[in-house]
Structure formats: structure tokens, C-alpha cells
Amino acid sequence: MYYGKRSLLARVKIWGVLSVIITGFFAGYWGYSIFGDKTLPVPEPASQVQKPAEAPERPALTIIKPSPRPEPPADIPLRPSPAPVPDQPSPQPERPVKPAADGLWLHVVKSEYKMYLYNGKRLERTYDIAVGANGGQKRKVGDSRTPTGSFTVQQVQSSASWTYDFKDGNGPTPGAYGPWFIRLKTPGWSGIGIHGTHDPSSIGTMITQGCVRMYNHELQELKTRVFKGMKVVISE
């Protein structure tokens, strides 16, 4: 009997504790629902969450190249023009003429209008000649100067049929070179030689474009003694 009372009392206590717990839970939930803080922010749906503002794009860098340096006008020289070269070269002392050790050779002296035929050191013949219209050493093509120096005979050509136009209005002149043209090997210049003439009165003057001119009959004689490689010295 006593055992039964104790069992009933324990059950009452357990149900009492559970009732207090349940009553307290529902009372707390009801109080929170009524008096809870309605000021708390309501989280927005995930779809309305704003994305952080993107950083503004930087403007593209513009590389400014330096402007090219303007070219000077074509008619303005970049540097002063060189002083004009005088037409007449500065006089220089001539080297003494070195005669051939032996054999025939020719020496033209422009200032004397003479050409000398030597055999070694022995003079054998003198010829009258005409030389370039301008004095001094030859400087350029067409300057009408007879070059000075030591040269050789390159070849002997028949020039009886050659003509030349002296630009005097008479057209090409036949026989302008005489019967023969003794072509000289003159490094740096071409067309220099010893030849005859259609105008015997020109001998003894400065009249040619650079060649040595002589009488036709004397040229005929000289031709028999000239050979390829023969030494020819021309001096002032």
C-alpha cells in the first residue's frame, strides 16, 4: 500500500515538471511572437541582394609619338657649299724629265710648241706642234687641256677617213685628224693622241681640245718610227 502511494506521488511530480516545462515553452513562444523586436531588418531575398559597384574602367592610354623633325626645304643646303675650285691649278714645280735609257722616245714641250724625238739621250728630230687651247694640267673632260706626265703609245690608227664637227656651222670636216692617229695611254683620260690636221696654219698655237697636232707630212715620217709601248713625256 505504501509502495502504491509512493508510485503515485512520483508520477504526479514528473507530470508536474513536464507541465511546467511545456507551459513555459508555449508562454515564451507566445510572448516572443507578440512583443518581439519588430525593428530588426528583414533580410532581403537573395535575388535582390545588390552587387558591389564595379570600379570604373580606366581610360585607354594614348601614346603620343613625337612629331617627326621637319625636313628643310630642298632649296636650302644642309651645309655651306664648297668654295669653287679655281679653273687654273696652282703652279707646281715640274719633275725633271727622265729620258729613256735607250731606244726612241718623244718629249712634248707645250710652252715651246715643239716635240722632240730622242734616241736615248741623243736628239734626232724636232717637230712643230699645236696643243690644247687652255694651259695647265688637264682637270676634267672637255677642258681643252693637254695632260702632262709620262705616257706610252697605245696604238697607231689610220684616221684618213675620220671627220670632226668643229661647231662652226660647216658641219663635219674631213681630214680633221690627218692620215694617222697615234693614241696615247693616259690613265684617267681617253681620246688623247698625236695626229695630223686639215689646217696647217694652226700649228704653233693653243687650239686643240687636248691632243697634240702636227703637220701631216711630218706625221707620215714619225709614224715609221713609232711603236706600241714607246715612251712619250709631255711637260709644260
Q: Which residues are catalytic?
A: 195, 211
- Spatial distance between the Cα atoms of 59 and 55, rounded to a whole number of angstroms: 12
Count CB atoms within 10 A of the CB of residue 159: 21
Among 142, 145, 180, which Cα is nearest to 161's?
A: 180
- Spatial distance between the Cα atoms of 32 and 29, rounded to a whole number of angstroms: 5
Among 230, 175, 236, 229, which Cα is nearest to 202's?
A: 175
- Spatial distance between the Cα atoms of 38 and 217, rounded to a whole number of angstroms: 145
Inter-residue contact 16 to 24 (CB < 8 Å)? no
